[in-house]
């Protein structure tokens, strides 16, 4: 039978282990994105804390129009009420993003690949137009993961990840991470994070560290499986179109080969016919 002393010792060891997880999560995130600085965040605070820490009323954001629904909701229902204005443009066309920029623009926000249409944004091209105008480029690289895409290497200023998804990989954590190569920007975000309290629990960090260890193996398997599904859908008579960057007929296939090291594990498709036909076709 375990003694009270032994029980307390086990609790102490577990507390030390979890504390180390909280300390080590940020360095692990930095390593994944090539050794930059990275605060970890609690779920659903990641995007808000990044931008509210550096934006003020009257500032302007240009965002690619195909966005994760939670990001769009945050922009429209939270940021606008804080006096921050937004313009959406076709992220596939860097010139469209450039034309949307105003004198008060502080951030260009893109996802690549996008959720849900799997569109790609040319990170280097958008980074160049942002750099010329002293505007921050923020890239949501959740679908690609650091294993397949490294936006900081392509001159982005900030990368965000939902660690809930691939990085954790086990459906038992919700959270996020922000990575930047700008020490001053990091210090600003870290201060805001500390003041606002948007930090993950140590056990969440421990679970996410566990997931990072198998990220490479999992992403390889995801890609193999998704390519097989995409090819099946592409040949199915009920399917009108398939959007997967790994398919050679994807309109941005060459861009994917240039800025990513793999095709990713997400696919979207459109079913032929009207709503009734689409409903019946869900049995495919």
Query: 10-212 is classed in which CATH architecture?
Result: 3-Layer(aba) Sandwich (3.40)
pLDDT tens per residue, range 28-51 = 655 566 545 555 555 544 556 667
Decide the pairing of beta strands 85-89 and 105-111.
unpaired
Percentage of the residues of the chain whose pLDDT score is greater than 90: 62
pLDDT at 185: 87
Please state which architecture CATH assigns to domain 215-281. Alpha-Beta Complex (3.90)
Average pLDDT over residues 57-83: 94
Cβ contact 39:158 at 8 Å: no
C-beta of residue 175 within 8 angstroms of C-beta of residue 40: yes
The 3-class secondary structure across 177-210, one letter per residue, is EEEECCHHHHHHHHHHHHHHCCCCCHHHHHHHHH
The answer, yes or no, to whether residue 87 has pLDDT greater than 90, is yes
Q: What is the pLDDT of residues 133-179, one digit of tens each?
A: 999 999 999 999 999 999 999 999 999 999 999 999 999 998 888 88
pTM: 0.86
**pLDDT by residue (tens digit) across 208-233?**
999 999 999 999 999 999 999 999 99
Q: What is the DSSP letter of 64?
A: E
Q: Where do the domains of the chain lie?
A: 10-212, 215-281
Q: What is the pLDDT of residue 201?
A: 84
- The answer for residues whose C-beta is within 8 angstroms of residue 97's C-beta and 6 or more apart is 62, 64, 89, 90, 91, 108, 110, 126, 129
Provide the b/e sequence for 104-133 (b: ≥16 CB within 10 Å). Answer: ebbbbbbbbbbbeebbbbbbebbbebbeee
Q: How confident is the model at residue 273 (pLDDT cuts 50, 70, 90)?
A: confident
């Amino acid at each position: 039978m375990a003694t009270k002393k032994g029980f307390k010792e086990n609790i102490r060891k577990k507390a030390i282990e979890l504390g180390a997880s909280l300390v080590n999560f940020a360095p692990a995130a930095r390593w994944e994105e090539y050794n930059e600085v990275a605060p970890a965040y609690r779920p659903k605070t990641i995007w808000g804390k990044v931008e509210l820490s550096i934006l003020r009323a009257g500032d302007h954001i240009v965002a690619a129009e195909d966005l994760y629904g939670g990001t769009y909701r945050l922009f429209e229902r939270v940021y606008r009420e804080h006096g921050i204005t937004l313009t959406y443009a076709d992220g596939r066309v860097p010139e469209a993003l450039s034309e949307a920029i105003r004198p008060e623009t502080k951030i260009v926000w893109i996802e690549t690949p996008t959720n849900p249409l799997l569109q790609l944004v040319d990170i280097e091209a958008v980074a160049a137009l942002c750099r010329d105008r002293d505007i921050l480029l923020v890239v949501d690289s959740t679908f690609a993961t650091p294993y397949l895409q490294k936006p900081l290497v392509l001159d982005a200023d900030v990368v965000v990840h939902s660690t809930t998804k691939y990085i954790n990989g086990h459906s038992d954590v919700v959270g996020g991470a922000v990575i930047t190569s700008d020490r001053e920007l990091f210090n600003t975000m870290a201060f805001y994070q500390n003041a606002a309290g948007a930090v993950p629990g140590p056990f969440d960090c421990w679970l996410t560290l566990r997931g990072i260890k198998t990220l490479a193996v999992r992403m390889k398997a995801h890609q193999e499986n998704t390519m097989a599904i995409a090819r099946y859908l592409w040949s199915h008579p009920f399917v009108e179109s398939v959007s997967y960057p790994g398919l050679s007929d994807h309109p941005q296939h060459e861009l994917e080969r240039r800025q990513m090291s793999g095709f990713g594990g997400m696919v979207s498709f459109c079913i032929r016919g009207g709503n009734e036909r689409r409903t019946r076709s869900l049995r495919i």
